[in-house]
Structure 1
Amino acid sequence: MAEKKVKHRSVEERKSKGKGYRKKTPVSSHTGWKPANDRPDPVALLEEQNLTREQDLVPVRHGRMLVSPFTFYRGAAKIMAADLKDTPRAGLRVQLCGDAHLSNFGLFASPERTLLFDLNDFDETLPGPFEYDVKRMAASFTIAARNNEFSKHETREVTLRAVRAYREAMAGFAKMRALDIWYARLSEEQLSAAMDLAVATQKVKALKKEARGRVNAGRRNVEKARTRDSLHALSKLAELVDGKYRIVSQPPIVIPFRELGDSYGMSADEVQHVIAEQLRSYRATLPDDRRHLLEQFEIIDVARKVVGVGSVGTRAIIVLLQGRDQKDPLFLQVKEATASVLEDHLPKSRFSQPGERVVQGQRMMQAASDIFLGWTKASRDDRYLYWRQLRDMKGSAIVEGMNPFDMTFYAHACGWTLARAHARSGDSVAIAAYLGKSDKFDRSITDFSERYAEQNEKDYQAFADAVRTGRLEAIEGV
Structure 2
Amino acid sequence: MATTKVKHPSVEERVDKGKKYRKKAPVSSHTGWVPAPDRPDPVALLEEQNLTREQDLVPVRHGRMLVSPFTFYRGAAKIMAADLKDTPRAGLVVQLCGDAHLSNFGVFASPERNLLFDLNDFDETLPGPFEYDVKRMAASFTIAARNNAFTKEQTRDATLTAVRAYREAMAEFAQMRTLDIWYARLSEEQLMEAIDLAVATQKGKALKKAAQGMVKTARQNVAKAHTRDSLQALSKLAELVDGKYRIVSQPPIVIPARELGESFGMSADELQHAVRELLRSYRTNLPDDRRLLLERFEVIDVARKVVGVGSVGTRAFIALLQGRDQEDPLFLQVKEATKSVLEDHLPKSKFKQPGERVVQGQRMMQAASDIFLGWTKGVQDNRYLYWRQLRDMKGSAVVEGMKPLGMTFYANACGWTLARAHARSGDPVAIAAYLGKSDKFERSITDFSERYADQNEQDYEAFAEAVRSGRLEAAEDV
TM-score range, shorter chain: over 0.9
Residues of 2 paired with 1:11 and 1:416: CA distance? Answer: 22
CA contact (8 A) 2:210 2:405 kept: no
Q: How far off its partner does 1:263 sit?
A: 1.6
Q: 2:101 — aligned with what?
A: 101
Residues of 2 paired with 1:274 and 1:117: CA distance? Answer: 35
Residues of 2 paired with 1:36 and 1:328: CA distance? Answer: 55
Q: 1:360 — aligned with what?
A: 360
Q: How far off its partner does 1:381 sit?
A: 2.6
Mapping for residues 262-301 of structure 1, pairs under 5 Å? 262-301=262-301
Residues of 2 paired with 1:216 and 1:128: CA distance? Answer: 38
Residue range with higher mean Cα deviation, 196-205 or 244-253: 196-205
Residues of 2 paired with 1:465 and 1:210: CA distance? Answer: 38
1:8-47 C-alpha deviation (Å, 9 max, x unpaired): 0000000000000011110000000000000000000000
Q: Which amino acid aligns with 1:350?
A: K
Q: 1:224 — aligned with what?
A: 224
Residues of 1 paired with 2:236 and 2:269: CA distance? Answer: 26
Alignment of 1:69 onto 2:69:
yes
Q: 1:258 — aligned with what?
A: 258
RMSD: 0.7
Q: 1:348 — aligned with what?
A: 348
Residues of 2 paired with 1:379 and 1:306: CA distance? Answer: 19
Q: How far off its partner does 1:212 sit?
A: 1.3
Three-state SS of the structure 2 residue aligned to 1:259 is helix
Q: Which amino acid aligns with 1:36?
A: A
Q: 1:47 — aligned with what?
A: 47
Q: How far off its partner does 1:3 sit?
A: 4.2
Q: How far off its partner does 1:2 sit?
A: 4.8
Three-state SS of the structure 2 residue aligned to 1:368 is coil
Q: 2:456 — aligned with what?
A: 456
Q: Which amino acid aligns with 2:32?
A: G
Q: 2:159 — aligned with what?
A: 159
Q: How far off its partner does 1:201 sit?
A: 1.4
1:236-275 C-alpha deviation (Å, 9 max, x unpaired): 0000000000000000000001001112111122112111
Q: 2:318 — aligned with what?
A: 318
Alignment of 1:127 onto 2:127:
yes
Alignment of 1:82 onto 2:82:
yes
Alignment of 1:23 onto 2:23:
yes
Q: Which amino acid aligns with 1:175?
A: Q
Three-state SS of the structure 1 residue aligned to 2:95 is strand
Q: 2:245 — aligned with what?
A: 245
1:302-356 C-alpha deviation (Å, 9 max, x unpaired): 0000000000000000000000000000000000000000000000000000000
CA contact (8 A) 2:257 2:268 kept: yes
CA contact (8 A) 2:84 2:132 kept: yes
Q: 1:58 — aligned with what?
A: 58
Residues of 2 paired with 1:438 and 1:268: CA distance? Answer: 61
1:365-391 C-alpha deviation (Å, 9 max, x unpaired): 000000000000012232000000000
Residues 173 and 61 of structure 1: CA distance in aligned 2, closer, same or farther (over 3 Å): same
Residues of 2 paired with 1:96 and 1:4: CA distance? Answer: 22
Residues of 1 paired with 2:131 and 2:346: CA distance? Answer: 13
Three-state SS of the structure 1 residue aligned to 2:113 is coil
Alignment of 1:207 onto 2:181:
no
Name segments (4+ residues, structure 1) moved above 3 Å.
none
Q: 1:179 — aligned with what?
A: 179
Mapping for residues 131-146 of structure 1, pairs under 5 Å? 131-146=131-146
Calculate percent identity across the aligned residue pairs: 85
Residues of 2 paired with 1:35 and 1:197: CA distance? Answer: 41
The aligned length equals 478
Q: Which amino acid aligns with 2:433?
A: A
Residues of 2 paired with 1:327 and 1:160: CA distance? Answer: 48
Q: 1:409 — aligned with what?
A: 409
Residues 148 and 425 of structure 1: CA distance in aligned 2, closer, same or farther (over 3 Å): same
Residues of 2 paired with 1:98 and 1:381: CA distance? Answer: 25
Residues 292 and 2 of structure 1: CA distance in aligned 2, closer, same or farther (over 3 Å): farther
Residues of 2 paired with 1:362 and 1:34: CA distance? Answer: 32
Residues of 2 paired with 1:116 and 1:286: CA distance? Answer: 23
Q: Which amino acid aligns with 2:470?
A: G
Residues of 1 paired with 2:5 and 2:46: CA distance? Answer: 40
Q: Which amino acid aligns with 1:369?
A: S
Q: Which amino acid aligns with 1:161?
A: T
Q: How far off its partner does 1:206 sit?
A: 2.9
Residue range with higher mean Cα deviation, 68-77 or 196-205: 196-205
TM-score (norm 1): 0.99
Q: Which amino acid aligns with 2:196?
A: D
Residue range with higher mean Cα deviation, 2-11 or 326-335: 2-11
Q: Which amino acid aligns with 1:423?
A: A
Residues of 2 paired with 1:458 and 1:209: CA distance? Answer: 36
Three-state SS of the structure 1 residue aligned to 2:17 is helix
Q: Which runs of 5+ in 1 are unaligned?
A: none
Q: Which amino acid aligns with 2:409?
A: F
Residues of 2 paired with 1:320 and 1:2: CA distance? Answer: 44
CA contact (8 A) 2:109 2:393 kept: yes
Residues of 1 paired with 2:152 and 2:172: CA distance? Answer: 30
1:41-94 C-alpha deviation (Å, 9 max, x unpaired): 000000000000000000000000000000000000000000000000000000
Q: Which amino acid aligns with 1:238?
A: A
Residue range with higher mean Cα deviation, 285-294 or 207-216: 207-216
Residues of 2 paired with 1:369 and 1:196: CA distance? Answer: 27
Q: 1:446 — aligned with what?
A: 446
Q: Which amino acid aligns with 2:335?
A: K
Residues of 2 paired with 1:234 and 1:201: CA distance? Answer: 42
Q: How far off its partner does 1:211 sit?
A: 0.8
1:87-107 C-alpha deviation (Å, 9 max, x unpaired): 000000000000000000000
Residues 361 and 3 of structure 1: CA distance in aligned 2, closer, same or farther (over 3 Å): farther
TM-score (norm 2): 0.99
Residues of 1 paired with 2:64 and 2:3: CA distance? Answer: 44
Residues of 1 paired with 2:170 and 2:205: CA distance? Answer: 34
CA contact (8 A) 2:98 2:342 kept: yes
Q: How far off its partner does 1:220 sit?
A: 1.3
Q: Which runs of 5+ in 2 are unaligned?
A: none
Residues of 2 paired with 1:380 and 1:134: CA distance? Answer: 36
Q: 2:434 — aligned with what?
A: 434
